[in-house]
Amino acid sequence: MLLAAGLATAALGTLATFGPTSAGATKATPHEIVTAFNDGFADGRADATGDDNRDGRIDEDESGWDCRTMGNRKCGPTATALAAPLECRGAPADVLTLCRRVQGQPAYRYQPEGASAPIRVADGPALLATIAREGASPARVPELRELVTGLHVAFLINTGRVPSECAHAGTALRLCVTVAVRPAYGWTNPDGSRVDNPDGHAQVRGLDEKPGTPEFPAALRALDAEWREHH
């Protein structure tokens, strides 16, 4: 955690999706063939076939991706590796998803509270290159996960793109956005029963405790603790 926090600070200081849809036509079209991989928005659960991280969508790094029907420019055994940012190849699917989000971030400026001038933050590829030079790698998954999450959360907050479910989170804003950007996940209990959680956006929206209430931060911490327990 300390390494992750230090590297994220260094990166920011130095450099200072195939979307889910529903198919309803009677004749199978290429679009429907693609979206048929996902039933997650009909019954609340992601189709396990090809949706390796069960987040309700087939990403380019997952086994259900078909480069011929889903638009990837390269087909063949290396298509999956080519789809991921170099600094994140070999990392778990949830990390790859966040790496892609960071990779797509433009450079931006923001003015920290109390600062006399705006700070410029480099674009996503430069940020990923910086944390890699500082030692982050898929071989150190917990640190890499924290870093790319932190970089993306900072981008959303500092550019005014806070998820709607966190709009009134107050002092819990950063934690709320951190929880919200996480993909769906699940685990199998020792007795064989399965637990599946929806993505972070849905988890925050589903809380009985609402943003702005005294109980909201504690509810977010509980969601965060459960995520960390299984990652």
pLDDT digits (tens, 9 = 90+) for 176-220: 999 999 998 888 889 988 889 999 999 999 999 999 999 999 999
Q: Determine the Cα–Cα distance for residues 6 and 122; give it in Å rounded to an integer.
A: 17
HEC string of 33-53? HHHCCCCHHHHCCCCCCCCCC
Check whether 25 has a pLDDT greater than 70: no
Q: Over the stretch 89-137, which tens digit does the pLDDT of each residue have? A: 888 888 988 998 999 899 999 998 888 899 999 999 999 999 999 888 8
Residue 205 has a pLDDT of 95
Average pLDDT over residues 20-24: 41
Residue 229 has a pLDDT of 92
Residue 65 exposure: Cα atoms within 13 Å on the Cβ side: 27
Residue 45 has a pLDDT of 38
Average pLDDT over residues 73-80: 44
Q: Over the stretch 155-175, which tens digit does the pLDDT of each residue have? A: 999 999 999 999 999 999 999
Q: Say if residues 176 and 166 touch (Cβ distance below 8 Å).
A: yes
Question: Which of 6-10, 50-54, 150-154, 227-231: highest mean pLDDT?
Answer: 150-154
Residue bearing the bigger pLDDT, 177 or 31: 177
pTM value? 0.65
The beta strand positions in the chain, using DSSP E, are: 108-110, 119-121, 185-188, 194-197
Residue 141 has a pLDDT of 92
The first and second tokens of residue 179, run together, are 């929880």
